[in-house]
Amino acid sequence: MTSPWPSHLWVVRHGQSAGNVARDRAHAAGLGEIDLDIRDVDVPLSDLGHEQSEALGKWFANLPADQRPTVVLTSTYLRAQQTAKAIADAGGLARSDIAFCIDERLREREFGILDRLTSQGIEARYPEQAEARRRLGKFYHRPPGGESWCDVILRLRAALDTLSLHHRDQRVLIVGHQVVVLCLRYLLEGLTETEILAIDAEGDVANCGVTAYRQAEDGKLALVSYNFLAPLEREGAAVTTAPDAKVAAR
């Protein structure tokens, strides 16, 4: 059977970012806004994020060369590209000359007017949006100037078309964001809104957590692991699970 899919697919959330750290500080202090003075797209990895990314790269490097990624797709965001670079620098790719395919469709979810607000900040500044989100749920709620999960899923459908067109039977690594990991699960596994939100409710996707798929005998991609953390644990890198700064409202 001819399959349109890669032979192996890994979907990885970026390492801990400076935005994750700022978000934790804001919540601990009970603040309404997260203190970041740069665009979210330019938020870099934290020192721990670099350590996590290197640990993941070492894990990939310990795989046989014919089992490492041959294609790397990354979000346009700096923290995702830094994570991919750390994986490559640690020897985690099949070849050292693999060029990254940077794809804006893999970017973080846009939060519009709610960007960088904590749950307390949203309730205080935009109570009507907090109520709309409770009524509609995160899957369908689109804040002004932002995206719903459905909007993210729409652009990821197009990204998967590109994946099947250009990267069939290859070993593909995608480095993106928490919402990208979850929405790709929704698409690849044919999940329902209820099913993917239940997975989300169980806990956040860890920084550098690995979700892996392998092409099955029927040609479809079968889930092998979700939020796999052994690469970090083996290297003694701390595990972090906070949402990004711009997704402070869960």
pLDDT for res 250: 45
- In this structure, are strands 8-13 and 210-215 parallel, antiparallel, or unpaired? antiparallel
Q: Please answer whether residues 219 and 5 qualify as being in contact, where contact means their C-beta atoms are separated by less than 8 angstroms.
A: yes
What parts of the chain have a pLDDT lower than 70? 1, 244-250
- Look at residue 63 in the predicted model and tell me its pLDDT: 97
107 among annotated binding-site residues:
no
Q: What is the Rg, in whole angstroms, of the alpha carbon atoms belonging to the chain?
A: 18
| b/e 110-146 (16+ beta carbons within 10 angstroms → b) | bbeebbbbbebbbeeebeebbeebeeeebbebbbeeb
Q: Is 157 labeled as ligand-binding?
A: no
Which pLDDT tens digit goes with each residue over 4-29? 999 999 999 999 998 887 877 887 77
The whole-angstrom distance between residue 219's C-alpha and the CA centroid of its chain comes to: 25
Nearest CA among 134, 141, 143, 133 for reference residue 112: 143
* Fold exhibited by the domain 8-18+46-111+145-237: Rossmann fold (3.40.50)
Give the per-residue pLDDT at 248. Answer: 44
User: Which three-class secondary structure state does DSSP give residue 222?
Assistant: strand
Residue 6: predicted pLDDT: 98
Determine if residue 135 is labeled as part of a ligand binding site: yes
Q: Quick check: helix, strand or coil at residue 224?
A: strand
pLDDT at 249: 45
pLDDT at 206: 97
How many CB atoms are located within 10 Å of the residue 242 CB?
20
pLDDT at residue 1 in the model: 64
The predicted model scores a pTM of: 0.94
Residue 241 near residue 17, CB atoms below 8 Å: no
CB atoms within 10 A of CB 49: 26
What does the domain layout of the chain look like in residue ranges?
A: 8-18+46-111+145-237
Q: Give 162-166 contacts, CB < 8 A, sequence gap 24+.
A: 162/103, 163/5, 163/6, 163/73, 164/4, 164/5, 165/4
Q: State the Cα–Cα distance between residues 216 and 214, nearest whole angstrom.
A: 6
